C-alpha cells in the first residue's frame, strides 16, 4: 500500500506538521475548562484534603509572584486585589467550610470549592453596580486558579502510560509539565508552527500536529492514534494494515535517523569549503543531552523565560547562577548565548494584565527595563556564571539605541557590584541584541557602536514586517517566510553587519527550514541556531550544497517580487541539490 492510499479512509484528521516524527499511542484528552467540574463521590478523603492543601499553597505562591512583580507597575487598586486574593486563600472561615463539607459530603474537592465560592460571587452578581460585578470576577479568578491547580494535580496522576496529548491549545507551562510524564506526541486544535508548543515539541523531538480543527471533539480518550508529524496527519483507531504500514515506516525512520546521527562530529561544510556554524536553541535543561548528542557546536539562543514556567516563580540569583553554570560547563569550550527573559507578548506574562495588543506591548527588554531588579538579578547571575569565558549575553525585542544604552548601564553597574564583592567574572563578556523588530533591522550600523554581535529572530521579525499575527487563523496565511520583503530585509541586515565587521546569526524557525537554508547561506549567514532535533538533517543538507550555487540562488530570489515564484525557485533548488530526502521514505 502506498502513502496516499493510507489516507483514503474516513478515520483521519489533518493539521499543521509542527514537529517531525511518528508516534503510535493512546489519546489523552487534556481539557482545562472550568465548566467541566465533576461532582464525583470520593473515597480517599485524606488524599483529597492533601491535594486541596497543595493546590491552595500553589495558588498562593502564584499570586505572591504576581503580587511581587505587580507592586510598582499596576497601581494601588490592583495591588489590593491581589492582596485580598491571597487573603481569601487564608480565610479560615471559608477554608473551614470547604474542608468540613469535604468530610461530610465526600465529593470531589473542585466541586466543593466551586460551589462554596460561587455563593459569594452570586451575591455580588445580583447587584446592579458594575464595580461589584468586577469584584465578583476577582473572586471568580481565585476560584478558577484554585480549581486549575486541583485539576493539574489530578491529570498528572492520570497519565500512567505513553499517551498522545490532545488539547484545544497548550500553554508553554503545560508543555513543560508534560515533559515530566510519558508524552509521545501533541495534537492541538489551535496554534501553528511558531507557537511555543510547537517549538518545545520540536526541540524535545516529540511529534506534533497542530491546528487540527475539531481535534478534541473527534478524538476520544483512549482512542488509539497514529500521529504523523512529518505530514501533519492523524489516524484515529487505525486498522491492522495502517498499523503495519506505520510500524514499518517508524523502523525506516529510525534507520534514517541513525544514519544522520553519524554526522554528529562532522562539520557543516559546503562542497566548496565554506563552513557554517550550527548552534542549538535551548528552552529547558532536559534538552541538554539531546543537543550534545546531535552535534550542536554551541547554544545560539538560551531562552531563559522557561525558568518561570518550570519554577512557576521568579528564579533567584543563586538558582540562576547554578543553572547557567551547569549549561556553561556542559558545553565548554563551546559558547552559549543567554538571552534575558523575554516575558510578555504571547509568552508567559506573570501578571493578569490585559493588553489590547500584547505583541505590540509590554514585552522583552521593555518589560525588563521597567523591572530593573529583575533585569539586574539576571545580569549579575549571568556575569557570575561567566568565568569559563564561554557565555555571551543577549537582550530581546530591542527597538532603539536608547534601550541598548540603558541595558549597558545596568551591565556596568552589575560589573561594579561584582568587583566590589570580589566575585570574579568574564570581563570581556560579549553583548549582543536580537533583531526582531523592523526598526532594529534598519539600525544595525548604529547599534554596532554598542554591541558585539546580532542575532536575527525571524519568527517575530516576519510577523512585524508583514503586520500579520501568526496566531490569528484569519490572517496567518499571510505569514510568509519567503515574502520578497523578508528576503530583502535579511539580505540588507547581513550586508549592514558585514560592513561594520560584526557577526550576525539567525535563530528563528527559518534557520531550520530545509528550503530556507540554501538562501540564508547564499546571502552570507555563516551561523544558524535551531532546535536540536533539526541539527543532523541541516548538516546533511549543507554538506550537499555548493556555496556558489547558493549565492546565485539568493541573487535570483532577491530579484523576484512574487512569493510563489520565490517558493518554486527555492523548492526546485532544494530538489536538485539535496538527495535522500526524508520524503523518499514515503514514496
Partner 1 sequence: MIEKKVKIVNRAGLHVRPAANLVKLSAKYKSDFFIFREGMEINGKSIIGVMTLVAAQGTELVLKFDGVDEKNAMEEIVDFFERGFDEL
Interface residues toward partner 1, by CB under 8 A: 76-77, 80-81, 83-84, 87-88, 91-94, 117, 120, 123-124, 127, 129, 131-132, 135, 138-139
Nearer to partner 1, 129 or 420 (CB): 129
Half-sphere exposure of 347 (CA within 13 A, CB side): 25
| Secondary structure element (H or E) that encloses residue 247, with its range | helix 240-261
Contact 493/444 with Cβ under 8 angstroms?
yes
Q: How far apart are CA 562 and CA 487, in angstroms?
A: 11
Tell the smallest beta-carbon distance from residue 95 to partner 1 (Å).
10
- The helix/strand/coil state of 393 is strand
Phi and psi based region of residue 59 (left: phi greater than 0; alpha: psi -120 to 50; beta: remaining):
alpha
Q: Which residue has the cell 533591522?
A: 441
| Catalytic entry in 114, 196, 371, 483 | 196
Is the peptide bond prior to 25 cis by the omega test (within 30 degrees of 0)?
no
CA distances from 169 to 33, 191, 212, 214, 263 (A): 11, 7, 10, 12, 36
| Catalytic entry in 114, 371, 507, 557 | 507
Nearer to partner 1, 111 or 367 (CB): 111
- Buried-state track 310-321, b at ≥16 Cβ within 10 A, e below 16: bebebbeeeebb
For this structure, is 196 an active site residue?
Answer: yes
Tell the smallest beta-carbon distance from residue 83 to partner 1 (Å).
6
Nearer to partner 1, 99 or 431 (CB): 99
Q: How far apart are CA 134 and CA 86, in angstroms?
A: 17
Tell the smallest beta-carbon distance from residue 277 to partner 1 (Å).
55
Nearer to partner 1, 97 or 252 (CB): 97
Q: Which residue has the cell 509572584?
A: 65
Nearer to partner 1, 42 or 97 (CB): 97
Tell the smallest beta-carbon distance from residue 62 to partner 1 (Å).
18
Tell the smallest beta-carbon distance from residue 123 to partner 1 (Å).
5
Strands lying side by side in the sheet with 224-228: 12-14, 233-236, 224-228, 22-30, 163-167, 183-188, 208-210, 16-19
Tell the smallest beta-carbon distance from residue 90 to partner 1 (Å).
8
For this structure, is 507 an active site residue?
Answer: yes
| Secondary structure element (H or E) that encloses residue 338, with its range | strand 336-339
Nearer to partner 1, 56 or 395 (CB): 56
Q: Which residues are catalytic?
A: 196, 507
Amino acid at each position: 500500500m502506498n502513502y496516499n492510499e493510507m489516507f483514503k479512509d474516513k478515520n483521519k484528521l489533518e493539521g499543521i506538521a509542527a514537529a517531525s516524527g511518528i508516534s503510535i499511542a493512546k489519546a489523552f484528552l487534556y481539557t482545562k475548562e472550568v465548566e467541566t467540574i465533576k461532582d464525583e463521590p470520593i473515597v480517599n478523603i485524606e488524599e483529597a484534603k492533601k491535594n486541596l492543601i497543595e493546590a491552595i499553597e500553589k495558588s498562593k505562591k502564584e499570586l505572591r509572584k504576581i503580587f511581587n512583580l505587580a507592586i510598582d507597575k499596576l497601581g494601588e487598586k490592583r495591588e489590593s486585589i491581589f492582596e485580598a486574593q491571597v487573603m481569601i486563600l487564608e480565610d479560615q472561615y471559608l477554608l473551614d467550610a470547604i474542608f468540613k463539607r469535604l468530610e461530610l459530603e465526600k465529593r470531589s474537592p473542585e466541586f466543593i470549592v466551586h460551589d462554596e465560592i460561587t455563593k459569594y460571587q452570586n451575591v455580588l452578581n445580583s447587584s446592579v453596580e458594575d464595580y461589584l460585578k468586577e469584584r465578583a470576577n476577582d473572586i471568580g479568578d481565585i476560584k478558577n486558579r484554585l480549581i486549575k491547580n486541583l485539576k493539574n494535580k489530578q491529570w498528572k496522576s492520570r497519565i500512567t502510560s505513553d499517551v498522545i496529548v490532545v488539547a484545544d491549545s497548550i500553554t508553554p507551562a503545560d508543555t513543560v509539565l508534560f515533559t515530566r510524564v510519558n508524552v509521545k506526541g501533541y495534537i492541538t486544535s489551535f496554534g501553528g508552527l511558531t507557537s511555543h508548543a510547537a517549538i518545545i515539541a520540536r526541540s524535545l523531538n516529540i511529534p506534533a500536529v497542530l491546528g487540527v480543527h475539531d481535534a478534541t471533539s473527534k478524538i476520544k480518550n483512549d482512542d488509539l492514534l497514529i500521529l504523523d508529524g512529518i505530514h501533519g496527519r492523524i489516524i484515529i483507531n487505525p486498522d491492522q494494515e495502517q498499523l503495519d504500514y506505520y510500524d514499518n515506516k517508524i523502523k525506516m525512520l529510525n534507520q534514517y535517523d541513525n544514519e544522520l546521527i553519524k554526522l554528529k562530529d562532522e562539520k557543516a561544510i559546503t562542497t566548496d569549503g565554506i563552513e557554517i556554524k550550527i548552534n542549538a536553541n535551548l528552552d529547558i535543561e532536559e534538552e541538554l543531552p539531546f543537543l550534545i548528542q546531535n552535534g550542536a557546536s554551541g547554544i545560539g539562543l538560551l531562552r531563559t523565560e522557561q525558568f518561570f514556567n518550570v519554577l512557576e516563580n521568579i528564579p533567584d540569583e543563586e538558582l540562576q547562577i547554578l543553572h547557567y553554570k551547569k549549561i556553561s560547563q556542559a558545553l565548554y569550550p563551546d559558547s552559549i548565548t543567554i538571552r534575558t527573559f523575554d516575558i510578555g507578548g504571547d509568552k508567559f506574562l506573570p501578571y493578569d494584565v490585559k493588553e489590547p495588543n500584547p505583541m505590540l506591548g509590554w514585552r522583552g527588554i521593555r518589560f525588563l527595563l521597567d523591572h530593573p531588579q529583575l533585569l539586574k538579578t539576571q545580569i549579575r547571575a549571568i556575569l557570575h556564571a561567566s568565568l569559563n569565558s564561554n557565555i555571551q549575553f543577549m537582550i530581546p525585542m530591542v527597538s532603539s539605541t536608547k534601550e541598548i544604552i540603558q541595558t549597558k548601564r545596568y551591565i556596568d553597574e552589575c560589573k561594579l557590584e561584582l568587583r566590589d564583592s570580589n566575585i570574579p567574572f568574564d570581563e570581556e563578556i560579549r553583548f549582543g541584541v536580537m533583531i526582531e523588530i523592523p526598526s532594529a533591522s534598519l539600525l544595525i550600523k548604529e547599534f554596532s557602536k554598542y554591541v558585539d554581535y546580532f542575532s536575527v529572530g525571524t519568527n517575530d521579525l516576519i510577523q512585524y514586517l508583514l503586520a500579520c499575527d501568526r496566531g490569528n487563523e484569519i490572517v496567518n496565511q499571510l505569514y510568509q517566510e519567503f515574502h520578497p520583503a523578508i528576503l530583502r530585509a535579511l539580505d540588507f541586515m547581513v550586508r549592514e553587519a558585514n560592513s561594520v565587521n560584526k557577526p550576525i546569526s539567525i535563530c528563528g524557525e527559518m534557520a531550520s527550514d530545509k528550503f530556507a537554508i540554501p538562501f540564508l547561506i547564499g546571502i552570507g549567514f555563516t551561523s544558524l541556531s535551531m532546535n536540536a532535533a533539526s541539527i543532523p538533517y541541516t548538516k546533511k543538507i549543507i554538506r550537499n550544497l555548493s556555496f556558489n550555487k547558493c549565492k546565485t540562488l539568493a541573487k535570483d530570489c532577491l530579484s523576484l517580487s512574487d512569493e510563489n515564484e520565490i517558493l518554486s525557485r527555492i523548492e526546485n533548488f532544494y530538489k536538485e541539490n539535496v538527495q535522500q530526502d526524508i520524503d523518499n521514505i514515503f514514496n
